[in-house]
Amino acid sequence: MALTYESISTQTLGSAQASVTFSSIPATYTDLVLVYDAGNSGNVYDGTFVRFNGDTGSNYSWTYLLGNGGSTISGRESSVTRAGAGASGASRGMSILNIMNYSNTTIYKTILNRRSVIDASGYTVGAEVGSWRSTATISTVLLFVQSGTNFDAGSTFTLYGIKAA
C-alpha cells in the first residue's frame, strides 16, 4: 500500500511568538505528520509541547529518551496537561512529530516524535512517545515552548496529512 503525504499548511514565523496553532484540520487523512525547524528566544535548550483541540486537562502521558553522545536521560510523565513534541534550541531544533489515527473516534491518539537540536548546552537527539486520552478527532494542534520563551522569527512548521492509496 502506497502512502501519499499532502501538505495541509506551512507557517513561517515573521516575528517571535509563544505558540503555533494549526486549526480546522480536515478529517480526511489516516495520520498527520508535523515537521518543524525552530529556535527559541531564550537562547536555551528548551522542550516543545503539544496540545490537541484546546484540551488543557490532565489527559496526556509521555515517555522520553534523550542523548548527546556522552550521556543519556529518560523519563515519563503521566496525567499531565501536555505531551512532549521535541525541542527548540539556542541555535535550532528540528522535530518530526507523527500523530497516528488522528481521526479515528474509537481509540486514544498516539504521538511519536524524533528530534535533534543544534545546541551544545543540552541533549542533542531524542525520541518521545505520547498519548492523548481522547477519542475525539484531532482538529487543532497547538505547539508551545516549555518555559515561556518564544519560537524565533524564521522558524518553520509544516503539517502533512497521510493518505493511504
Cα four-point dihedral sign 78, 95, 161, 8: positive
Mean pLDDT confidence for 66-72: 81
d(CA 52, CA 149): 20
Over its C-alpha atoms, the chain yields an Rg (Å, rounded) of 15
For residue 141, the model assigns a pLDDT of 97
pLDDT digits (tens, 9 = 90+) for 79-127: 999 887 766 555 577 889 999 999 999 999 999 999 887 655 565 788 8
Q: For strand 31-38 and strand 92-100, is the pairing parallel, antiparallel, or unpaired? A: antiparallel
What's the pLDDT band for 146 if we cut at 50, 70, 90? confident
Q: What is the pTM of this model?
A: 0.89
Q: Which of 20, 23, 52, 24 is nearest to 35 (CA)?
A: 20
Mean pLDDT confidence for 48-74: 90
